[in-house]
Structure formats: C-alpha cells, structure tokens
Amino acid sequence: MASKERQLPFGRIEPNSAKYFLSCTLGGIVVVFTFEACGPTHTAVTPLDLVKCRRQVDPSIYTSNLSAWRQIYSKEGLRGVFFGWSPTFIGYSFQGAGKYGLYEYFKYLYGDHMFPNMNRTVVFLGASASAEFFADMALCPFEAIKVRMQTTLPPYAHSLREGWSKVVAKEGFGGLYKGLYPLWARQIPYTMTKFATFEESVNMIYRTLGKPKESFNTVQQTGVSFLGGYIAGVFCAIVSHPADVMVSKLNADRNAGEPAMAAVSRIYGKIGFSGLWNGLPVRIVMLGTLTGFQWLIYDSFKVFLGLPTTGGH
C-alpha cells in the first residue's frame, strides 16, 4: 500500500514567499518560547545568565558559580535563581522574531536580487547584520530592565512592570534605550558570527561527511544543525563578550545624564582590558548550549512546516 503524503500544518509553503518569511518569523518566536519557557536546557542557562551578569558588574561578589547558586537559593529560593526571567522572555521573543525572519528575507534580497554574484559568506554577514539592527530596537527596553533587575542588590525591581514604570518615571522612555548603541555593538557582531559561522559550519560538516545534505534524513539534518549551532555559539561568545560586559556595566553604573561614550571611558578606566573578559568561560558554555539548541529547534520547526533545514546548500 502506498504511504500517504504527510499533511503539512499550513499547506505547501513556497520558498522566499511572504508565507515563507512569516513562517521563519514564527520560527524565531518558537525558538525563544520553547527554549525559555519549557526547553530542557532552561534550568542550566538562566542561572548561568544571572550569575554571569552579577559577576561582570562585581567580580568579587561570588567566589564561584556553585557558591553563587547556593547563596541565591538559600536567600531567595528557586525563584531567585530564575530572577529576571520575564523581561528576558518577552524581549528575546521580539528579538527572535525579527532576527530569524528578517535574516531569511535579507539573505534572499541581497543574495538573489541586489548582489547575485556576491560571495555567499558576505551575503550571510550582511543579512544577519541588517536583521539584528532592527531586532535590537525591539529587544533594548526589556534588556535594560533585565540587567537592572539582575545586577543590583537589593533588586532594582521585582517584576517587569515595576522595572518599566521606574525607568520611565525617572528617566523617560529614553532611559529604556540608553544601552542601544552598546547593545548593537554586542549583538550585531554576535549575530553576524552566529549566522555566518553556522552556515559555514553546516557546509563543512556535510563536506566532511562526504554526502550531499539531501541524502540524510531530517533527524540527521537537525543533528547537524545542533552541532553547527554549538560551534557557532563558541565563536559568538568570544566575539561579543567585551561588549556584553560593557552593556551590563552601563545599565548598572551609568550616571543620569552622562553621555554614553563618557560612561564607557569611565567604566573602562576602572576595569581595564582584562575586566572586559570577566565571566567568559561561563558565557562560552552558556552560548554554545544556547545556540546549538536554538538552531535545533528552529530547523525542527521548519521541518515540521515542510521546509528545508538551514544551510548545507
């Protein structure tokens, strides 16, 4: 008996159509929702982020990560270990939607229309930079509140609503965007590295395996996506870490009305070059795991919709 063709949830989706780009945008939201809300690595990554941010601002606050988790849990319970989760979830949902959907769009626009003869790596870099530029505008207010909540003791605010109200009341809406330039400086190189390194890593893996992508089943292809994502995450951590430290420092230690570059210069004078690398080993583990699972979830969602996995073409 002939097997029935699998019913696709939204019908057939033509590549590079409006429906395709909307599906990729939805995939970006699914990545954040699945990973942050109920993903298997959420338990590990959220406490790492909390401790990382606090150690970036004050390297002497904890003697080790285990010591930090013990102290936080003994004083604040399990809720304290996951403190700052709500602005992280909402902000990165907006960012994830823009990042993945716009990347697919700009990759198509630059690679197939504007610069059809351009080197593909250059296309990947340009598309990811353009996508992140817009995605960060949506993320910035929530990132500012998250960092304030996680890096101040006692906490600046105990909820997203309280943090938003306090920032707007004291600094106006501009206070929610005072970390935008450093956020661009952190996230744009990070995303360029993430997407371009992922695409090249996936291509390298398939070349090493010695078979075209289409000869592997979807489970194997998503496994390649995870491995390529983990490799990309390691590079992302190294490239973006100094700016990540500075974003945390600016949101915690920038004086009211102080120009951004003046604050950067003052903070750098305090911590020096070595201070920009505080917490790097933790961030490598966190971003390697995070990025690997992000690509696994994203490409699994694309397979669910009947779309091909990313890269390896």
Residue 149 maps to a domain? yes
Mean predicted confidence (pLDDT) in 103-113: 93
pLDDT tens for each residue of 209-221? 988 898 999 999 9
From 177, 203, 225, give the residue that closes a domain: 177
From 118, 150, 177, give the residue that closes a domain: 177
Q: Domain tally for the chain?
A: 2
Same domain, yes or no: 209 and 155:
no
Banded pLDDT at 287 (limits 50, 70, 90): confident
Specify the pLDDT at position 52.
Answer: 66
Query: What's the CATH number where 154 sits?
Result: 1.50.40.10
pLDDT tens for each residue of 230-259? 999 888 888 878 877 887 777 667 776 777
Same domain, yes or no: 159 and 217:
no
Same domain, yes or no: 302 and 203:
yes
Residue 165 maps to a domain? yes
Q: How many CB atoms lie within 10 A of CB 311?
A: 23
Same domain, yes or no: 223 and 156:
no
Banded pLDDT at 37 (limits 50, 70, 90): very low
Same domain, yes or no: 57 and 140:
yes
From 132, 150, 177, give the residue that closes a domain: 177
Same domain, yes or no: 123 and 29:
yes
Banded pLDDT at 5 (limits 50, 70, 90): low
Residue 252 maps to a domain? yes
Residue 2 maps to a domain? no
pLDDT tens for each residue of 64-101? 666 666 666 566 665 555 566 677 778 878 888 888 99
Residue 99 maps to a domain? yes
Same domain, yes or no: 26 and 163:
yes
Mean predicted confidence (pLDDT) in 173-196: 86
Residue 262: pLDDT over 80: yes
Residue 3 maps to a domain? no
Residue 109 maps to a domain? yes
Same domain, yes or no: 171 and 260:
no
Specify the pLDDT at position 201.
Answer: 93
Percent of the chain with pLDDT over 70: 77
Specify the pLDDT at position 56.
Answer: 63
Same domain, yes or no: 162 and 263:
no
**Is this prediction's pTM over 0.75?**
no
Same domain, yes or no: 105 and 194:
no
Same domain, yes or no: 225 and 138:
no
Domain containing residue 140 = 14-177
Same domain, yes or no: 145 and 199:
no
Q: What span, in angstroms and rounded, lies between the C-alpha atoms of 262 and 249?
A: 13
Residue 182 maps to a domain? no
